[in-house]
Structure 1
Amino acid sequence: MIYCDYQATTPLAPEAREAMLPWLDGPDGTGFGNPHSPHRFGRQAAAAVELARDRVAALFPPGGRVIFTGSATEAINLALRGSHPPGDARPVAVSAIEHAAVLDTARALRCPVEILPVDRAGLVDPACGLPDAVRLVAVMQVNNEIGTIQPVDALARRAKELGALFLCDAVQGAGKLAPPAEADMIAVSAHKLYGPKGIGALWIRDGVVLEPLLTGGGQEQGLRSGTLSPALCAGFGVAARLSTELLENDAQHVEKLWARVHSLLPEWELNGSADSRWHGNLNIRREGLDVARLMSDLRTIAFSAGSACASGSGRPSHVLSALGLSARQAKSSIRLGFGRYTTLDEIEMVAESLNAAAERQDMR
């Protein structure tokens, strides 16, 4: 089985797994302690959490704090809901190609939501119109479906000029690109950068005040009550450290994979910009392609259909529709994702298999 769905999740780095194991110890070990307890077991666990926090903080700009959450979705909810005063009717602005965690949460705030369009390359214009009295602007760093890299720093500066906060979903960019330096809040997820599932983080710039979503014990600086998992934190921390250390090597490897697979798929059209994108994401379409049949024919390759939303409803992707693609074009699209552990031989086999399966459909 060849794995080409790195936007959905990345393989767990062996180093991250090893870092987690001591904190899963049973009664014969010392790693099972509650990090919020005052005794030796708890203090050891707390030290592991804070080491992980420091490592994750290295993914972000200086001048902020890291709050661990259960996922990036939770981090986004904390940012959007926690910064929304009750009864505040000022509008928020979000891009048309945001993840559902941003779009659905923004719509739930009971305030006007301005949708910022993208061009056919999948990019938000930094000079786009923002609503008067806008309270918050949310634009993701790297799109999860088509990989386009947005001009988030320019947009953040625009937001600040209007007195608005800027939230960046950096789930797909963290550990791969420089962090959005001008953002006020940044959401990330461990399992998108070779860490474990079940943990994310929200970076909050100093001076930004949020109200908690989860109340109770007051853990995580009063913003996220609940007992933290030292194992998940440790795995996240090591994955973050590796992403920082291997940033250049990972990027060079991905560029080689991109150049090779792109050259082997000349009959396929690229969705989104070829230049302003993370090249570990290849979203492509082929006229008349039956994607369901393609996925059935290629069961030894794990990749994603480009046409379905996260719920699997079968509706055309809101991201591809925002680019101006027709429903037919969107439904003939697929997404390949690759990264640190993908080999050149694997990517060549994937391209060969895709071409052969598509050509068989053409002959029917």
Structure 2
Amino acid sequence: MKVAIVHDWLTTWAGAEKALAELLACYPQAEIFTTVNFLPKGEIPCLVGRAIHTSFIQKLPGAKKHYRRYLPLMPLAIEQFDLKGFDLILSSSHAVAKGVISDPGALHICYCYSPMRYAWDMQHQYLRQSGNAQGLVSWLMRWQLHRLRQWDYISAQRVDHFIAISHYIERRIETFYRREAAVIYPPVAVEKFRHDRPREAFYLTASRMVPYKRIDLIVEAFTQTPERQLVVIGDGPDFKQLKEKAGPNITLLGFQPDSVLIDYLERAQAFIFMAEEDFGILPVEAQAAGAPVIGYGVGGLKETIVNGVTGLHVAEQSASALLTSLAHFETRRQEDPTAYAPEACAQQAKHFERSVFSNEITTFIAQKRQEQMAKI
């Protein structure tokens, strides 16, 4: 079986790319197609020696640093890949990858992280954050996003079967694409954590410092309660502003390697997470490390955290709601020291380990391949 894996772009090694690595492990013979590839050669073991095909955007001026500016060209770029002769096409998509034009005899399955947020429900936020909420440029961008939505919907109809990364995304696929989707959670390397280390008094959060991660309200809540200690790991555009607002009880460590993050996760009394995420790998990793998660109970976190057992769902994205949940967490811990047990957290995390992902996705694909062959 000849397999093509189509990925939006290869510029960083984050959650979607970790899922890509598992897909490559499942189908080691696969060739990779992507709009651009600017990952350092030889540094990603699963990509070494593989055939990686890029689009014409790879050679456009400034693409390495500003590839996202070429988003209006990406539908055209993704449609130029010649996939004739491939039996199975796996698109790993949160943007344009699912839009490839496949051979009519091929089976196209899309592992969807989310329909394009900036083209659909986050359009207005995207325009505000880019400084283009008003004016002529704003209207030009709105027109481009309008056309992108049209293409996004049409291209979604080319996919034979969708797999969503969570039930939250399953609902988004149904809303925007009018398509059904199976749910297979992304793979998490839970085996690299231990949950039996002594717990310390501090709370922990970790994230890239960008607005939607809502580190600002976490910092605000802990600044209001100086008796609580918070450690913050991560860097990004908002780092300087957050550091200026943070009280003396908050330690901002900036970017740290995985080894440091793992060490803190294994010692923290709880992990704080207030973003609305499609899935959220870090809360699962925190549980694997034995740390309960106190986080905004919407999106993927609602599915990965067992409320009252491996953490607490915060009712809304606000500092006051977070403080209420922190007080509830601490009161229950005082009344019952066995509450939110590290063992329970680690057991919950096992539902998302890599072997579960590999087994579920290969079984799903084999079943759909068999159904397709039966119709021929």
* Both structures adopt the same fold (TM-score exceeding 0.5): no
TM-score, length-normalised on structure 1? 0.29
Q: Relative contact order (alpha carbons < 8 A, sep ≥ 6): 1 or 2 greater?
A: 1
